[in-house]
Chain A
Amino acid sequence: MAGTAAGSVRHNPIAPYLLVAPGVLWLLFFFVVPILTLGKTAIAVQNGPWWDGFARAFTAYGAHFFRSLKYALSATLFSIALGYPLAYFMAIRAGRFKNLLLGLVILPFFTTFLVRTFAWKTILNDSGPAVWLLTQLHVLPEGGRLLDTWMAVIGGLTYNFLPFMIMPIYVSLEKIDRRLMEAAQDLYSSPLRAFLKVVLPLSLPGVFAGSLLTFIPATGDFINAELLGSPNQQMLGTVIQNQFLQVRDYPLAASLSFVLMAVITIVVLAYARVLGTEDLA
């Protein structure tokens, strides 16, 4: 029997390649080729050395890089803080309301991203209810504002990417064998201790996936900074958009895109090192 199996493998030596071919082709056409085009654009500097775009990306836009990472990181942390309890409730406690709640989490996607972000402009506007309430509570100083501040930008990012945090955490919590929690409690673990020792570690792969799904797009996002921020809150995505559409400095825009990709990759790899999926289960 073993001989037959080995024989059939030998008869189709290209089978594995055929199986991965669609994936490889997809990556080739929709990832490798665009990356090469982008690279070509980045070094097509008209007057100056080929690395001119990269040099300016580093020298002139350091603040934008730092700000993009800071905002995306804040939004990710806020998403975990808001998303984890909700995911926990849906997965463990919601009972027959589980599907309803899941539906509600997905519901905002039926309206486009742009319209939802615009709606925040109305909610946060200077004479709107949010500012009035916070001024009455003396959280905001008299004449203070929310719109066009860093608070609005981070809030918008958190709002827009929250479902991407909730869903993976929910899935990982839902998969947990309830008997493990019971076992922990049978062994005299307090509910809090059972959560910290059993549930939380088992759900970390979901937190990891959710963080990536939130952090990576939030870093490159430009809509929230554009609509809810002032010029002093512009993120790198806005700069890239402006350099492509307004200034038409294509080498600089392409270089910025490259550097942003590299920075995100490094951050994600470092994160995977710390909270990798390998040893968590």
Chain B
Amino acid sequence: MSHGKDHSPEELERILRGALNRRQFLGRTAMAAGGLALSSSFLSACTGKEAAKAGADSTAAAAAGGGAKEVRISNWPLYIDKATVADFEKATGIKATYTEDINDNNEFFAKISEPLKRGQSIDRDIIVLTDWMAGRMIQLGYCAPLDDSKFPNKVNLLDNVKDVSFDPGRKFSVPWLSGMTGVGYNPKRTGRELTSINDIFDPKFKGKVTFLTEMRDSLGLVMLGMGKDPTTCTLDDAKAAAAKIKKARESGHIRKFTGNDYAADLAAGNIAVAIAWSGDIQGLAADNPDLRWIAPKEGAMLFSDNMMIPKTSDRQDLGLAWMNYVYDPAHSAQIVAAAPYLSDVKGAGEELAKIAPDLAKSELVNPPAELRARLHVFRGLDEKEDQEFNRIFQDAIGA
């Protein structure tokens, strides 16, 4: 001890006990934390092994000059049938890993944008994002141009989606499927048929309503209900719609804001009404024949989800082979039969009539002209507007 003062025995004992206690305390904390670390390191060891294996695979592929053929695809859940991936592997000899890991455009973008910015691989050769996000990816230069010579079936692309504002001439992207955003409901829970967007705000459904976290879908539909057109909307229109959503959220009328996961709640009966994507409800109808999807009389939103090849992919040819395969009308029809959205492939309708004649007549996969006229696409927003709209919307949904 460097300082001269002698401690009284009581003081010394106090200090010693204090030290002991703190050490014990630390020891206990460490022990409990060790329990957690053990389980998490066990988990990470498992994923680590897989990652190492994947790493070894890609090195092997590189060594063999692309000899080990595997195309890695990311897509949204409930967006494909069970056979297409296996059929593709059989037909082309290319192995395919199909991962349903996109649940939200912004969230997926946040995951991939940093590596893409640095020019690093994201271990994906095909990604599927909605129009506005596809536009942002293309604008940022994150997508590889499509080599049409390796994608002959591209001629099957429907004329009405050939020239879109975010990708003129479809140089970087082609639609995977298109769909409509409207109102999904369970007539047993609502007790009546719904026709209008504003039915969602019926006080009877309090606490039994979900909206989508996808800003353009939720804001767009509410705007239509207020008599505004999302195709030409202003910031004030967005503010008014957001205020309406915020009020419904704070009063407890809206139970949740969701991605695809509203489907499970609708099927379980936790909710009665949802802002819903057209194909999801049809997909659930097999087990829940009561569920209904409508394009409200005020209008519905239209979107496409677009396949793109990240510019950092070292297997762009394999990505093109996948695009080429699913742009065959028969193959596209097979996908639509399980995921009843709109195919953008010429001739897919005729092929669908052969394998699923009932579904081919449904307006979900073949909207009549009267319905098509009611479909709206949210207007393009520049980066600054996008942030502003998003801030208003995130505030409204309480996030």
Contact = CB atoms under 8 A, between A and B. Distances in A.
A198 B100 CA distance: 57
Interface string B360-388: 00000000000000000000000000010
Interface stretch (A134-142, A164-172, A177-185, A186-194): A164-172
Where chain A touches its partner, the secondary structure class is: helix
Interface stretch (B228-236, B249-257, B342-350): B249-257
Of the four ranges (under 10, 10 to 19, 20 to 34, 35 or more), the interface on chain A belongs to: 35 or more
B31 A171 contact: yes
Contacts of A219: none
B32 A112 contact: no
Nearest to B269: A127
Interface string B275-293: 0000000000000000000
Contact of A247 (B21, B25, B29, B390): B390
Nearest to B391: A247
Nearest to A147: B270
A203 to B, nearest CB: 11
Nearest to B270: A126
Contact of B21 (A147, A167, A205): A205
Nearest to A231: B398
A200 interface: no
Nearest to B23: A277
A232 B249 contact: yes
A264 interface: no
Contacts of B254: 230-231
Nearest to A63: B398
Given A213-B29, A246-B107, A247-B394, A112 B256 contact: no
Given A247-B390, A277-B18, A277-B22, A148 B106 contact: no
Given A242-B394, A248-B110, A281 B20 contact: yes
A208 B254 CA distance: 39
Q: Most chain-A Cβ atoms within 10 A of its Cβ — which of B21, B22, B257?
A: B21
Contacts of A220: none
A232 B396 CA distance: 11
Contacts of A210: 32
B64 interface: no
Contacts of B256: 148, 230-231
B21 A277 contact: yes
A247 B39 CA distance: 33
Interface string B101-131: 0001011001000000000000000000000
A278 B17 CA distance: 8
Interface string A256-281: 00000000000000000000011111
Nearest to B20: A281
A243 to B, nearest CB: 8
Contacts of B207: 145, 148
B392 to A, nearest CB: 10
Contacts of B91: none
Q: Most chain-B Cβ atoms within 10 A of its Cβ — which of A164, A238, A281?
A: A281
Nearest to A169: B28
A125 interface: yes
Contacts of B86: none
A251 to B, nearest CB: 12
Contacts of B35: 106, 109, 163, 167
Contact of B268 (A109, A126, A280): A126
Of the four ranges (under 10, 10 to 19, 20 to 34, 35 or more), the interface on chain B belongs to: 35 or more
Nearest to B264: A121
Q: Most chain-A Cβ atoms within 10 A of its Cβ — which of B29, B31, B387, B390?
A: B29
A213 B255 CA distance: 31
A277 B25 contact: yes
A110 interface: yes
B255 A230 contact: yes
B36 interface: yes
Contacts of A278: 18, 21-22
A33 to B, nearest CB: 18
A244 B110 contact: yes
Nearest to B111: A245
B398 A232 contact: yes
B394 A246 contact: yes
A239 interface: yes
Interface string A201-220: 00001101110110000000
Given A232-B250, A281-B20, A247 B387 contact: yes
Given A242-B394, A244-B110, A249-B391, A112 B252 contact: no
Contacts of B164: none
Given A232-B250, A232-B398, A277-B18, A125 B28 contact: no
B355 interface: no
Interface in B23-77: 24-25, 28-29, 31-33, 35-36, 39, 43
The 9 A-B pairs at the shortest CB distance, nearest first, are namely: A231-B398, A242-B399, A109-B39, A245-B110, A277-B21, A167-B32, A168-B28, A246-B106, A126-B270
Given A246-B104, A248-B106, A279-B14, 17 more contacts: A109-B36, A127-B269, A147-B270, A167-B28, A168-B28, A168-B32, A205-B28, A213-B29, A230-B254, A230-B256, A231-B257, A232-B250, A238-B399, A246-B399, A247-B387, A277-B18, A279-B18
Interface of A: 60, 106, 109-110, 112, 125-127, 145, 147-148, 163-164, 167-168, 171-172, 175, 205-206, 208-210, 212-213, 230-232, 234, 238-239, 242-249, 277-281
25 contacts: A110-B39, A125-B268, A125-B269, A126-B270, A127-B269, A145-B207, A145-B270, A163-B35, A167-B31, A168-B31, A171-B31, A175-B24, A205-B25, A206-B28, A209-B32, A212-B29, A230-B254, A230-B256, A232-B249, A242-B399, A245-B110, A246-B394, A247-B394, A278-B18, A280-B21
